[in-house]
Structure 1
Amino acid sequence: MIQPITELTAAQLRRRMQLTSLPFATTADAPELNEIIGQERATRAIEFGIEIPYQGYNIFAMGPVGAGKTTIITGFLQRKAQTRPVPHDWGYVHNFNDPDRPHALRLPPRGGAGVRAEVDQLLNQVAETLSKAFTSEQYAEHRGALVHQLDQQRADRLRQLDQFAREQGFVLVRLPMGLMVSPLKDGQAMSQEQFEALSEEEKQVFHTREPIIQDALERTMRQVREINDEAEVRLTNLDREIAAVTTKPLFDRVEAAYADWPDITEFLSSVHTHISEHTDDLRRPAEAEEESEGAQGGAEGESAQPSLWFRPAAGSPYDRYRLNVIVDNSALTNAPVVLETNPTYLNLIGRVEMRAEYGTLVTDFRHIKAGALHRANGGYLVLDARSLLRQPLAWEALKQALRNQCIRIEEMGQQMGVLATASLAPEPIPLDVKVVLIGDPSTYYLLYEYDEQFEKLFKVRADFAVEMAWTAENEQKIAQFIRSRCEEEHLPHFDISGVAKVMEYSGRLVEDQRKLTTRFAHVTDIVREAAFWAQRAGHTLVTAADVDKAIDERVYRSNQFEERLREMIADGKIMIATQGAIVGQINGLAVLQLGDYSFGRPSRITARTYEGRSGIVSIEREARLSGRIHDKGTLIITGLLGGRYAQDKPLSLNASITFEQAYDSIDGDSASAAELIALLSSLADAPIKQSLAVTGSINQHGEIQAIGGVSDKIEGFFEACKAMPPGLSGEQGVVIPASNVSNLMLKEDVVAAVAAGQFHIYPVRTLDEAIELLTDVPAGERGAEGAYPPDTINGRVDRRLRQLAEQLQRFGRPPAKEGHSKSAREPEKQPPHEPELPTDEPEPPRPQTTARRRHQPRPPWAMTP
């Protein structure tokens, strides 16, 4: 026995927030919000990923757009970061052994800038100290004495050589090109003419002694060179000793201040050693500068102060001793939280910049710049997954850094193997960071499927929900959320009625009376817009009227196409009947999605049945205007008909079903119940009330199943009924699945019309309930003998199907013989090919004859029944 259908009351069509459920009168009195709303599962996952200390437990935050993932995660991480200390600063310094590989320097937390200032001050002091030391009278006397001593040694060697040469009859002659020996006569060196005038015996004597003198000359010159070398070494050692001794106290002071930082003390020690060993490199630019200034001459040159040697000016050799601090955490009080909105390769791992000098690009360690990984080191890095994957090499660079636990700065050209130019290769920096990727579910599953390293590096999935339970506790949390938005954006606060409207709007977004949305980006938008209209109206508090105004204005900005369709329905251009009863015709309901706006549209569905064996033909399917889900609904109808009516006869019929005046693509199975009712109406010759519209999908057992967009569909038919004359008659309504009652969050005007008896909403659970309501004819149940009562819908359909099967079986057979009245000369003519009739099972639906475009994109105005 079919239970009578109970019409829904106005109270069942929309859940309202009780104004007494909140313990405060306005959001200004609400407590401050300090927790994540409705994301307990995601919160626990994020907390687990942050706390677990092992490698690879980075986080992928997964959820729909607008769920507030970035805001929620950033706020959560900032609170967690307050419990962690400030990490080390980092810098790069010159590598004296290999200048192309700068050293990475670990610096005190928040102390990198201080160390850099100390080093700069130290270099200034070193320059001043060396300038004084090498321009002092004591240094000049010491150096002069050493030079005089070495000069005396050279003079002694040359004097001894000259004496030996004279003893052998030769004399040393100093020429511009060096020393040479010449024969001696009368105490003077002979000229060439004098030597030629000598006798052969005298010449022979000189020739005999010449090798001895030449050997002595070479030996002496070697000794002089050795003395010169010794002199250079002794002078250099003197400069080194003076530089080392005079600057040692300066370096000792700074090293003592950073005794607990081995990297800094080692760097300072290497700088001290290098300065002591390369004083000439430091002095030469200053000397050239002094010579340039001195060349200007005149009174100005005499009055000007002499420039100091070793002055560390820009571009001076002192630059190699400076410190490049790439990570300066001086502004932090806890661990860093970095949100990188443009995660390119260079922005992620850092870069080495170039500068142009004389038409050539040059660089050094001072031009190394940090990336997001450097700034987030010791804390948390938040990245958008899709933005990251769109950047060349960025995803691979992130994986490499996480896998190796270090940041290695390399040029993109070197990574791609297309750049052969020599560049810097900075020493890698150890990495300790938790990375949070934010993305949608499809991105997560694609990475998990196609990147084998993804699951090893991002072991924690934080799954953000799109809805939460509508409870008193969550009502208070949303009120606190509104309060936070008002405080942060300097908006007027909401009174309780305004909060209630926002709460109900949140429930409508998820289409559920038991749920509230967690997509707080949409809630924030309506809060801002309601505050705007409240300020425009001069209200000190945002009220329910202001929220309604914001919602209405938002709809008005987007519903131009909806209004145009409504006008076409009212003008009769789109044919929709809201009165009377017609066989094989029913009002179906569909949802049109236009960007961020959706609305319901009624559509006329018609069915025609006739004799044949093709079964049910969907005209949309044949015209390739339907999607796969809609086609599935059509096949389910065939299965239901076979199971219900073809147990004792073949299912032999032709039936066509279509959405009239639908010229765009259609998908979804929520019109399958309406299509089946139209088909049964045609078979049973039972008129369907046109004042009612139907939505719901059907299964093979005749049960009405839940569908989506139920509120939009009801409102779409409601507006059509209002637009068509004579308007609401008190008979119109919508038949919906009973399982969708909890999804109703209808507009106030629909609720008011139902309360006034002008519009009706009927929940049904089965096909039989729906068809009784629509035809006022009992559906009928099988009796003990398996037959349906004849005056019911099922009885009529069963009888009609039997008639169609019998008619098809009789079609084409010869007339019956009448004894032997025919002449033997007129033999009976048989048809050449008697058609084969179905016997037990109905023929399956005709397969599609043309290849379907499976991936044909749907237009934005495609209907979803």
Structure 2
Amino acid sequence: MTVADPLPPERLHTPCDPAALGFQSSDALPDLDAADIHARAVDAIRLGLDIGGEGYNLFVLGDAGSGRHEIVTRLLEDERHEGPPPADWCYVWNFDTPSHPRLLTLPCGRGPGLRDDMQRFVEELMPAIAAVFESDEYRNRIEALQDEAKQREETALRQLGDEAQTLGIALLRTPHGFAFLPMKDADSTLSQEEFEKLPEERQHALSEHIKTLHERMHRLMNEFPRWRRELQNRIRDAGRDALGATVTHMIEELKLRYADLPEVCAHLDDVLRDIIASGESLHASPRNEDDGDTLTYSGSISVQRYLVNLLVANPADGTRPVVYEDHPTLQNLVGRVDHLVHMGTLVSNFTLIRAGALHRANGGFLVLDAIKLLAQPFAWEGVKRALKSGRLRIESLSELIGVAGSVQLEPEPMPLTLKLILIGQRLVYYLLGQYDPEFAALFRINADMEREIARTPDNTAAYARLIATLARRGGLPPLSAAAIARLIEHAARLAGDAERLSTQTQPIDDRLREAAHFAGAAGAPCIERVHIDAALDAHRRRHERIRLHYQQEILRG
């Protein structure tokens, strides 16, 4: 029977010689980006960011603490300055279908200007409308039209009265209307007794004349409403003419600023037509500071409908957006429509449309944590719908579950062009690939972060630079070569292999900060090996309760 040789304890540990590192202090080491350790994953991320086409979104696979977020952030910071500039997006009133707000697209940096211009326009509009309808010229014009209409009615009645008088019949005004009676003389009419004393032929002739005159009066009375409608139309046309001259000048000034944007100019033309058509109603509506609260999608007459809801504004330098959404609920991703309570009823309008992370990242990059996304109801399906269709539709959670209690706004969907970067662990990636048939078509690029690297002399030197970089970025004291050597040994222990080094930078960074605390408490100018040992011992002691418990149970048998 062959007996196995005992394994010496020193075979379980490969020490790192501080002298072999070639420096005395970490101050002598240049910085090292964590991305240099994950070259394969970095190449995959860069490919995914550069390549176009549908479905070329990224899934970054890596363990927590591997520096995956930091690497993605740095690569995106470089990439955001490349590529086409993103657009600004605005929602405006839809004059044809108020419940479907229209979406305007503007070059980056132009959205705030349009919003501010329309805000000033609205502030100037009501005084301009009041000045038009309260001017002497307008009032004189209306009085002239009213006098003309009144004269027309009186002339028609006078002509009918004159014709009746030639037939011996008087036209009288009574509290109940007009009446025709036989005349006795120029100043009086026949009584019933006097009429009955007339010859039968005369009575018959007068009765026929009165009947004919009544028919003509009836036709004339039927004409009066039409004439009055014509008057109202002429008054309205006069108001539109007067208002059009003033507002057209204001709109033309705006159109000059946006002459290069046909979509904006078309909207301004719609605004002009609506103001001219409803200017009198705007003037007659109550003026208060809460007009925006009562502007519902159903068509309330308010100047607030001419405002612009700037949904997304990007910098004028054309830098593409990079958005990190830490709480990826459905509404935080696809946006929402807020509501106000008005007279006991929930109302909404286009100014209450709020952007989601997908809106803000449009034209750029959106970074999400895969686990957080999958943990939110309806969020994963909402993101997939947007990516597959290339259109971002604002969806109400209550509508999705079928409990919407009021009529919902349906804003025009936004064309969607972005790169979605999901960051998660390998298990999440493989489970999605196994159980979601749409996943592979939407995330064609995966970037797999290294868990560990070979413990070669070159990698050991690079790891020393990485430790020095972590200390400098954290504002920590410099490390001696012996301290760095001890951390390299700890990295091998984290990897579970004396010939490998763990790429988990978070545990290394944590021990660095704890060692800096011990160094500061000791008054040391730099972090020495003894401080690293103290940090490792403290960490081990914090987590050894279960280990000691099992050891005691084993010893007890």
Q: Please, what TM-score do these two structures have when normalized by structure 1?
A: 0.59
Corresponding position of 1:15:
15
Corresponding position of 2:382:
397
Asked if 1:114 corresponds to 2:113, the answer is yes
Asked if 1:258 corresponds to 2:235, the answer is no
What letter matches 1:198 in structure 2? F
Corresponding position of 2:503:
518
Measure the CA separation in 1 of the matches of 2:157 and 2:55: 78
Asked if 1:355 corresponds to 2:340, the answer is yes
Q: Taking structure 1 as reference, are residues 480 and 13 closer, same or farther at Cα in structure 2, changes over 3 Å only?
A: closer
What letter matches 1:105 in structure 2? L
Measure the CA separation in 2 of the matches of 1:17 and 1:230: 103
1:313: how far off?
A: 7.8
Q: Taking structure 1 as reference, are residues 562 and 151 closer, same or farther at Cα in structure 2, changes over 3 Å only?
A: same
Secondary structure of the structure 2 residue equivalent to 1:83: coil
Corresponding position of 2:66:
67
Corresponding position of 1:322:
307
Unaligned runs of 5+ in 1: 290-309, 575-660, 662-865
1:497: how far off?
A: 2.7
Corresponding position of 1:285:
285
What letter matches 1:147 in structure 2? Q
Secondary structure of the structure 1 residue equivalent to 2:99: coil
8 Å contact kept, 1:38–1:467: no
- Matching residue within 371, 376, 391 for 1:406: 391
Corresponding position of 2:196:
199
Secondary structure of the structure 2 residue equivalent to 1:115: helix
Corresponding position of 1:342:
327
Residue deviations 1:747-806, cap 9 Å, x none?
Answer: xxxxxxxxxxxxxxxxxxxxxxxxxxxxxxxxxxxxxxxxxxxxxxxxxxxxxxxxxxxx
1:566: how far off?
A: 4.7
8 Å contact kept, 1:161–1:220: no
Corresponding position of 1:274:
274
Corresponding position of 2:299:
none
What letter matches 2:321 in structure 1? P
8 Å contact kept, 1:124–1:312: no
Residue deviations 1:377-405, cap 9 Å, x none?
Answer: 11111112222222221111111100000
The count of residues paired between Structure 1 and Structure 2 equals 548
Secondary structure of the structure 2 residue equivalent to 1:198: helix
Residue deviations 1:13-44, cap 9 Å, x none?
Answer: 32305445356x54445434456142122111
What letter matches 1:470 in structure 2? R
Measure the CA separation in 2 of the matches of 1:130 and 1:57: 53
Measure the CA separation in 2 of the matches of 1:519 and 1:314: 53
8 Å contact kept, 2:181–2:210: no
8 Å contact kept, 2:122–2:304: no
Alignment of 1:37-116 (within 5 A): 37-84=36-83, 86-116=85-115
Measure the CA separation in 2 of the matches of 1:143 and 1:409: 48
What letter matches 2:230 in structure 1? E
Measure the CA separation in 2 of the matches of 1:349 and 1:540: 52
8 Å contact kept, 1:74–1:382: no
What letter matches 1:224 in structure 2? F
Measure the CA separation in 2 of the matches of 1:233 and 1:150: 12
Corresponding position of 2:485:
500
Secondary structure of the structure 2 residue equivalent to 1:36: helix
Query: Which structure carries more relative contact order (alpha carbon 8 Å, separation 6+)?
Result: 2
Measure the CA separation in 2 of the matches of 1:53 and 1:568: 60
Measure the CA separation in 1 of the matches of 2:323 and 2:293: 33
Q: Taking structure 1 as reference, are residues 182 and 123 closer, same or farther at Cα in structure 2, changes over 3 Å only?
A: farther
1:462: how far off?
A: 1.3
Q: Kindly indicate which of the two structures has a greater share of residues assigned to helix.
A: 2
Asked if 1:440 corresponds to 2:425, the answer is yes
Q: Please, what TM-score do these two structures have when normalized by structure 2?
A: 0.90
8 Å contact kept, 2:18–2:481: no
1:359: how far off?
A: 1.2
8 Å contact kept, 1:127–1:312: no
Alignment of 1:762-773 (within 5 A): none
Measure the CA separation in 2 of the matches of 1:437 and 1:540: 42
Corresponding position of 2:244:
244
Measure the CA separation in 1 of the matches of 2:44 and 2:176: 86
Residue deviations 1:155-184, cap 9 Å, x none?
Answer: 222221222232334333445565444444
What letter matches 2:226 in structure 1? E
Corresponding position of 2:226:
226
Q: Taking structure 1 as reference, are residues 224 and 562 closer, same or farther at Cα in structure 2, changes over 3 Å only?
A: closer
Corresponding position of 1:612:
none
Measure the CA separation in 2 of the matches of 1:554 and 1:51: 42
Q: Taking structure 1 as reference, are residues 186 and 410 closer, same or farther at Cα in structure 2, changes over 3 Å only?
A: farther
Asked if 1:126 corresponds to 2:125, the answer is yes
What letter matches 1:284 in structure 2? A
Measure the CA separation in 2 of the matches of 1:174 and 1:15: 122
Instruction: Tell me the percent identity.
Output: 31
Secondary structure of the structure 1 residue equivalent to 2:526: coil
1:366: how far off?
A: 0.9
What letter matches 2:114 in structure 1? V
Residue deviations 1:692-751, cap 9 Å, x none?
Answer: xxxxxxxxxxxxxxxxxxxxxxxxxxxxxxxxxxxxxxxxxxxxxxxxxxxxxxxxxxxx
Secondary structure of the structure 1 residue equivalent to 2:195: coil
Corresponding position of 1:801:
none
Measure the CA separation in 1 of the matches of 2:121 and 2:82: 36
Q: Taking structure 1 as reference, are residues 171 and 93 closer, same or farther at Cα in structure 2, changes over 3 Å only?
A: farther
8 Å contact kept, 2:149–2:231: yes
1:418: how far off?
A: 4.1
8 Å contact kept, 1:195–1:203: no
Secondary structure of the structure 1 residue equivalent to 2:35: coil
What letter matches 2:108 in structure 1? P
Secondary structure of the structure 2 residue equivalent to 1:278: helix
1:496: how far off?
A: 2.8
1:101: how far off?
A: 0.4
Residue deviations 1:816-851, cap 9 Å, x none?
Answer: xxxxxxxxxxxxxxxxxxxxxxxxxxxxxxxxxxxx
Alignment of 1:401-800 (within 5 A): 401-419=386-404, 421-566=406-551, 574=556, 661=557
The structure whose Rg is larger is 1
8 Å contact kept, 1:386–1:439: yes
Q: Taking structure 1 as reference, are residues 255 and 3 closer, same or farther at Cα in structure 2, changes over 3 Å only?
A: same
My pick for the range that moved more, 91-100 or 442-451, is: 442-451
Measure the CA separation in 2 of the matches of 1:519 and 1:266: 56
Unaligned runs of 5+ in 2: 296-301
Corresponding position of 1:684:
none
Measure the CA separation in 1 of the matches of 2:13 and 2:32: 32
1:70: how far off?
A: 2.5
Measure the CA separation in 1 of the matches of 2:393 and 2:251: 31
What letter matches 2:120 in structure 1? Q
1:469: how far off?
A: 2.7
1:263: how far off?
A: 2.2
8 Å contact kept, 2:33–2:466: no
Corresponding position of 1:384:
369
1:424: how far off?
A: 0.6
Residue deviations 1:340-393, cap 9 Å, x none?
Answer: 121111111111111111111111111111111001111111112222222221
Q: Taking structure 1 as reference, are residues 547 and 360 closer, same or farther at Cα in structure 2, changes over 3 Å only?
A: same
Measure the CA separation in 2 of the matches of 1:313 and 1:161: 54
8 Å contact kept, 2:334–2:357: yes
Secondary structure of the structure 2 residue equivalent to 1:541: coil
What letter matches 1:225 in structure 2? P
Query: Over the residues paired in the alignment, what is the CA RMSD in angstroms?
Result: 3.0
